Amino acid sequence: MSQSTSTQPIEIPKEDLKKIKFGEDDVLTQKEDIFQRKVDLNRASALGAQSKSNIKIYFEDAEGTKYKVIATVWAATEKNVTLKKEIMIPLRSVYKVGFF
């Protein structure tokens, strides 16, 4: 099955995030979804600071390929989600946050 027809996101190690080319547009279009993403990422950031808990971050690259990375969120700003070793994912590329 090719990646483009697969609905399952590709899991990648966080170190490989530096190789991803992210799109310029927000992958979410609904205000409710954008608000929920912010709430989830703030919760993930609090969990990361408190207990170093890993969460699942689902995001898309510039081509629309869906990925998943499992990591501890160190910070969530207006523009980026920051992981360990200063690895960042643009907020606009994140479409879902999963908690264990």
User: Which pLDDT value is given to residue 1?
Assistant: 41
CA distance 9 to 47: 23
Q: What is the DSSP letter of 38?
A: H
Q: What is the DSSP letter of 23?
A: P
Q: What average pLDDT does the chain have?
A: 93
The pTM score is: 0.90
Q: Where are the domains of the chain?
A: 10-22+31-98
**What size, in residues, is the chain?**
100
pLDDT, tens digit (0-9, with 9 covering 90-100), for 1-27: 444 555 799 999 999 999 999 999 999
How is residue 41 written in tokens?
Answer: 């990422």
Query: Is residue 81 scored above 60 in pLDDT?
Result: yes
What is the CATH topology of the domain spanning 10-22+31-98? SH3 type barrels. (2.30.30)
User: Which pLDDT value is given to residue 85?
Assistant: 86
Question: Is residue 56 within 8 Å of 9, Cβ to Cβ?
Answer: no
Unique residue bearing structure tokens 């070793």: 85
User: Which pLDDT value is given to residue 71?
Assistant: 96
Mean pLDDT of 22-40: 97
Determine which helix (DSSP H) or strand (DSSP E) holds 95, and give its type and residue range. strand 94-98
Q: What percent of the chain has pLDDT over 90?
A: 86
Q: What is the DSSP letter of 93?
A: G
